[in-house]
Amino acid sequence: MRDSFILGLPAWIIQDGNYGDFKRNDQASFALEFHAPTELEAVELDSPSIALEHLHGSTYRMVAQVFHVREVEWWAIDAGIRMYREGRPPPGIDEGSWVTGEAYIGVDPFPYLERHSRHHTAPGLIYDWKIDMIELNIAPWVDIPGGGRMRDSSRPGWREIEQTEAWKDGAVADYLLHCKLLNNPPRR
């Protein structure tokens, strides 16, 4: 099983009071949430096998198995590590289904810890981590037609930092946590 991960962390998660700032070499406990830029797709496999391939930032290509669906609230997959997503899975995806696609993997903004983990059927998703490195997104901002701003994906940039400083870095700051999974089973 893979033991090193690069995980996304928007500053607003810290600013909401869910976590304190993170420092290099800290140990922390949190669940993982995934978001797919397009929906993960159900796949029929002759010999299904879990796979997780790092692409860039906190984006991974995966083959995973759905192992928990909680009605319309949330669902969880196992891609070599367990993670969840808010809402219901796409049509045709149920417990036991295999899915594939690309997904952003990030630190739980707290729905799992505050709500989902309290249900008696909830699986354990909280892992223990050692934070080996932290990076701050320094890609330039560009205007979006019709209004708004976003990071320029054609000019990505990350700067290594000792710790997050969510209040100083601002609500739109994004971090990458380079983490090592510690040898403890996931818990609720």
Which residues, given as ranges, of the chain have pLDDT below 50?
none
Does residue 186 belong to any structural domain of this protein?
no
Does residue 187 belong to any structural domain of this protein?
no
User: What does the alpha-carbon distance between residue 84 and residue 103 come to, in Å, rounded to a whole number?
Assistant: 11
With beta carbons less than 8 A apart as the criterion, state whether 86 and 114 touch: no
Does residue 188 belong to any structural domain of this protein?
no
Q: What is the pLDDT of residue 171?
A: 80
The average confidence (pLDDT) of the chain is 93
Rg (C-alpha) for the chain, rounded Å, is: 17
Q: What is the pLDDT of residue 33?
A: 98
Does residue 67 belong to any structural domain of this protein?
yes
Residues 125-169: tens digit of each pLDDT: 999 999 999 999 999 989 999 988 888 888 889 999 999 999 999
Q: What is the pLDDT of residue 1?
A: 66
- Domain around 35: 4-181
Q: What is the pLDDT of residue 45?
A: 80
Does residue 64 belong to any structural domain of this protein?
yes
Q: What is the pLDDT of residue 154?
A: 85
Does residue 136 belong to any structural domain of this protein?
yes
State the total domains in the chain: 1
